[in-house]
Amino acid sequence: MPAGRHEIAVANMALSQNLFGVGSDKDTVDMRPGTTTYFHAQVQYGLTAGALSSMQVADNQGRTDIANLHKIDGTCPRA
């Protein structure tokens, strides 16, 4: 992504979007040239079961989290 302010989002069902103040389905990040920014998406439990929330994580945590991931080729349907 180019440097500047960007909004990232995770898809949630309409009924689970921030109903009880847990998590957020959108975040804003100011990207700097030549850097990588990491976010962690997490499934919420309890009253908003299944809702995704996201949060920015430190560079070392992001690198650790993705170290063992593998790319799967395919396409995702767009909403």
How is residue 62 annotated by DSSP? Answer: H
For CA atoms 26, 28, 33, 38, the dihedral sign is negative
Across 21-41, b (16+ Cβ under 10 Å) vs e yields: eebbbebeeeeeeeeebbeee
- pLDDT tens-digit series, residues 30-54: 999 988 999 888 877 766 556 777 8
Q: Quote the pTM value.
A: 0.63
